[in-house]
Amino acid sequence: MKIRRFTKQGHDEFKSLYRELAQSIENKNGNIKNGYTANLKQKIKDMQGRKDNSVEVERSQDISNINFSTSYELGVHLKEALKDLSYTDIQADSEMWDWLSLYYFNIIFFEKMRGYSEMRYILNQDWKFKFRHLIRTPWFCVQYYGKYSKLLLCGKPFESIDWLEQYIKNREIREFTTLMKICYEMYFDKKNDKYKPGTSKGKPGGLFRLRDKINQFFRVYDLWHMDAKEIIDLLPKEFNQYKPKK
């Protein structure tokens, strides 16, 4: 199936339906399983089956509604499907990203997840919140960081793991792509395909400390013209436990 984009009416209908779902969960004291009633499940299914509320996105490739095991796998799939469209044309296309939320709703909305904030399914254009979107964010990370985005996207598609939250919210860090490779080499457990425990916070040698050191290095070195290995070699002994073995 080709990717589609909501019409204005279709987009309004989807937003209204999700808010009805969120309100139902609220009425059940935040219990997602109880709030996601059979009636609401049917409404989602019915909307997924319609084409009168959306139009096809030209030059998009076919997509599949399969059970992706991680957000990274989802991001790779979306990057391939959108490869012929320019970043500037689609990065803020709420109608497309939210149609994809509906299309993949069964894998990004799960009864045992911890949160159901609207911005996970309906794109918020505020830069502080747009990376909460469970569809747009995997696409962004994969097309921007490539395989190194596995560190940020190793959770289930319905999750937004702490590594992603802590890394992506800092604009300066987010745009320095070499740092993503550094983090991947130091903090990603390649054997188990997940991040090393405790590294996303203030643990000695972890992300917060790395961020501090990188900010210091920017005042002394031309980091934009250094590769990941050169920068890792500058890090003090505190980081030795995470440095790649030579």
pLDDT digits (tens, 9 = 90+) for 37-71: 999 999 999 999 999 999 999 999 999 999 999 99
Number of domains the chain contains: 2
**67 assigned to some structural domain:** yes
Same domain, 54 and 76: yes
**70 assigned to some structural domain:** yes
**164 assigned to some structural domain:** no
Sign, Cα dihedral of 183, 188, 194, 199: negative
Same domain, 141 and 218: no
Same domain, 112 and 9: yes
- The range of the structural domain enclosing residue 216 comes to 170-246
Considering 110, 134, 159, which residue would you say is the last residue of a domain? 159
| The two structure tokens encoding residue 18 | 């999700």
Distance of CA 234 to the CA centre of its chain: 30
Asked if residues 148 and 184 have their Cβ atoms less than 8 Å apart, the reply is yes
Same domain, 41 and 101: yes
233 φ, ψ to 5°?
Answer: -65, -20
Considering 159, 188, 212, which residue would you say is the last residue of a domain? 159
Same domain, 143 and 188: no
Query: Which residues make Cβ contacts (< 8 Å) with residue 104, sequence separation at least 6?
Result: 65, 74, 135, 157
pLDDT greater than 80 at residue 28: yes
Identify the burial level of 140 via C-beta atoms within 10 angstroms of its C-beta, where 0-12 means exposed, 13-18 middle and 19 or more buried.
Answer: buried
**114 assigned to some structural domain:** yes
pLDDT digits (tens, 9 = 90+) for 209-244: 999 999 999 999 999 999 999 999 999 999 999 999
In degrees, to the nearest 5, what angle opens at C-alpha 16 toward C-alphas 11 and 18? 95
Same domain, 22 and 111: yes
Same domain, 152 and 177: no
Pairing of strands 54-56, 188-189: unpaired
Same domain, 140 and 238: no
Same domain, 37 and 124: yes
pLDDT band, residue 133 (cuts 50/70/90): very high
Same domain, 56 and 148: yes
What percent of the chain clears pLDDT 90, i.e. is strictly above it? 92
Same domain, 43 and 151: yes
Considering 109, 128, 159, which residue would you say is the last residue of a domain? 159
Same domain, 183 and 150: no
Query: Which residues make Cβ contacts (< 8 Å) with residue 168, sequence separation at least 6?
Result: 131, 137, 141, 152, 174
Cα separation, 126 vs 73, in Å, equals 26
